[in-house]
Structure 1
Amino acid sequence: MSLEQNINGAIKTAMLAKAEAELRALRAIKAAVLLAKTAEGSTGELSEAEELKLLQKLAKQRKDSLEIFRQQNRPDLAQKEEEELVVIERYLPRQMDEATLRSELTAIVAAVGATSPADMGKVMGAATKQLAGKADGKMIAALVKELLTK
C-alpha cells in the first residue's frame, strides 16, 4: 500500500476521532505528496525512496520550526509543531540509536579506508547512501567527525 493510500485512510480515521493535531499533520503530508506527484518532470507516481525523502523533509521542517519557536518563547506554536512531528515520524522508518549508528559508521570508516578528518567526504558519501532514512544527517556527521579525529 502506498503512502498516499495510508494517509487517506488515516485522515478518515482522524476525522472520525476528531483528532485535530493528527488531522493537521496528515493533511500536510497529503498536500506534500500531491505537490510532488504533480511537480514538473514528475512521472505522477512516487517511489518508496521519494516518499521517504518527502517525509524526512517534512520532519526536518517541523524540527527546525520547533527549535525556533522554543528560542522565541512561543510554547503554543512549538506544541503544534511537536504534535505534527510525532504523526510524521510514525510514517518514517525507526531511527538508529547512537550505539548502533556508531558501530555502523566504524565499519564504513574501515571499508572506505579513512584515517583522518580529510577523508570525511568519502565517509559521508558512503554513510548517507547506506544509512538513508535510518539516521539523522547531523548525527551521522558529528559521529563521523568524532571517529576520524581519534
Structure 2
Amino acid sequence: MSFTKEELELLHNSYEELRKGVALHPRAFYDALFEHAPQMRSMFREDIEGQNMKFMTTLGVILTKLQDEDAVDERFQELGTKHAELGVQVGHFQPMEDALIDTLKNELGAGFTAEHDALWRRAFLTISERMIRRGNIPEQ
C-alpha cells in the first residue's frame, strides 16, 4: 500500500501527539491490548512501561520509512521473527490494531478524526503484513 505525502504527514503528526500522551500514560497501549485480549498478557514481560517505550520507538522508525519497505526490511524480518518466537500468531494482530486505535483515540481526543482512524488502520495493516510475511508468523 502506498501513502501520499499528506497521509504520511498526518500519520507522523498524530504519532508525535501520541508519543507525547503516552509519555504521560506509559501503560496506555498495553492496558488497551490486555482489555481486548487478556490471554496475551502472559506473552509480555513484567516491565510493561519499558516494553511500551520499545513499541513507540519501533513504531516511529517504521512510520518514518513506511513508503520505503526495503529501508526497514531487515527490521520487519527481525520483528516478525522475534514475535513468532514469542508465540505471536496472525490472529494476535487484530487486538493489537484495536488497542492502537483506542490509544490514539484516548490520547488525541477530538483531534482523532475518521480520517485518522482509516489511515492508522491502513498503516497498521501494512506494517503487520510485512512483519507476518518476513517473520513467517503462523496463522495458528
Report the TM-score, using the length of structure 2 for normalisation: 0.29
Larger Rg: 1
Larger relative contact order (C-alpha < 8 A, sep ≥ 6)? 2
Report the TM-score, using the length of structure 1 for normalisation: 0.27
